[in-house]
């Protein structure tokens, strides 16, 4: 299957700083990528849909100014958590759609804000 | 009501047991049904993918979809400790874009 690489896998940052998470499609081009947030023992919550060359589409309740998404190329989408606070601590996962309804996920990034 | 309902468990079984994981959904427009496996602190990986009703088998795994009752199942035969993970069911509409995930069921297979 297709490979999606997400980096970093784990990051600890101080409250008030910004953190950038990268998601790369390694062996295919992805015009669209999805960003999810996952709380412990809960399912994936779609935050936004990243579109190459255009603005991201955010889900209701997700602050676009807080979670900045950039999809500058067909193989790279980034999520920047700005002015992070402890409540932003979570597991963030990106995915790229396959040819059908399947999705290929990155390894996830565990963000801890202290 | 959530669009996809899944019991979060945990479900604990002895090695070699047959495992049955289930989800129900509410939107009859869903046509694609997937099962993902997620190990702790990792991203989900696609396990099974079916379209519309019917069964699909892949090794020890069998996925079943019953659209009449809006019920989807994953069976694992001869379960192994390495099968211990969270299993997420997921659905998508025909021509749709968003994948709707269940809450995930945590499975523990004891040696």
pLDDT band at A1 (very low <50, low <70, confident <90, very high): low
pLDDT tens for A82-108 read 999 999 999 999 999 887 788 899 999
Which residues are within 8 A (CB) of B99 and not within 5 positions of it... i.e. 6 or more apart? A34, A101, A103, B34, B90, B91, B92
Mean pLDDT of A47-68: 94
Res A33 pLDDT > 90: yes
Mean residue pLDDT across chain A: 93
Predicted confidence (pLDDT) at residue B12 exceeds the cutoff of 70: yes
Check residue B96 and give its pLDDT.
73
Quick one: pLDDT at residue A27? 87
pLDDT score of B25 more than 90: yes
Token pair of A9 as six digits: 């896998």
What distance lies between CA B66 and its chain's CA centroid?
Answer: 13
Q: In chain B, which residues have their Cβ closer than 8 Å to the Cβ of A105?
A: 36, 43-45
The model's pLDDT over B86-104, given as tens digits with 9 standing for 90+, comes to 999 999 988 777 899 999 9
Q: What is the pLDDT of residue B76?
A: 98
**DSSP of A27-83:** SS--SEEEEEEE-TTS-EEEEEEEETTS--EEPTT--TTTEEEEEEETTEEEEEE-S
At A30, give phi and psi (nearest 5°): -120, 105
pLDDT number for residue A110? 96
Interface test with B, best of A100, A101, A105, A111 (most B CBs within 10 A): A101
For the segment B53-80, the average pLDDT, to the nearest whole number, is 95
Q: What is the mean pLDDT of residues B66-73?
A: 95
Contacts of A61 (CB under 8 A, 6+ apart): none
User: What's residue A41's pLDDT?
Assistant: 77
The answer to whether residue B52 scores a pLDDT higher than 90 is no
The whole-number average pLDDT for the span B53-72 is 94
Cβ of B46 and A43 within 8 Å? no
* pLDDT at residue A22 greater than cutoff 90: yes
Q: pLDDT tens digits for B102-111?
A: 999 999 999 9
Q: Does B22 touch chain A (CB under 8 A)?
A: no
């Amino acid at each position: 299957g297709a490979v999606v690489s997400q980096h970093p896998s784990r990051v600890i940052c101080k409250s008030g700083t910004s953190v950038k998470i990268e998601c790369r499609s390694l062996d295919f081009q992805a015009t669209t990528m999805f960003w999810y947030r996952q709380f412990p023992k809960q399912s994936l919550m779609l935050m936004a849909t990243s579109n190459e060359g255009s603005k991201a589409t955010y889900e209701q309740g997700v602050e676009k100014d807080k979670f900045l998404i950039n999809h500058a190329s067909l193989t790279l989408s980034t999520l920047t958590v700005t002015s992070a606070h402890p409540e932003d601590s979570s597991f963030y996962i990106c995915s790229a759609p396959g040819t059908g309804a399947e999705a290929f996920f990155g390894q996830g990034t565990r963000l801890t804000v202290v | 009501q959530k669009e996809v309902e899944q019991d979060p468990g945990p479900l604990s079984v002895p090695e070699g047991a047959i495992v049955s994981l289930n989800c129900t959904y509410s939107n009859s427009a869903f046509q694609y049904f997937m099962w993902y496996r997620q190990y702790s602190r990792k991203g989900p990986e696609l396990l099974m993918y079916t379209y519309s009703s019917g069964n699909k088998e892949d090794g020890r795994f069998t996925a079943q979809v019953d659209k009449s009752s809006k019920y989807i199942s994953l069976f694992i035969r001869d379960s192994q400790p390495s099968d211990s993970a969270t299993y997420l069911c997921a659905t998508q509409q025909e021509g749709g874009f968003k994948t709707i995930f269940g809450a995930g069921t945590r499975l523990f297979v004891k040696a």
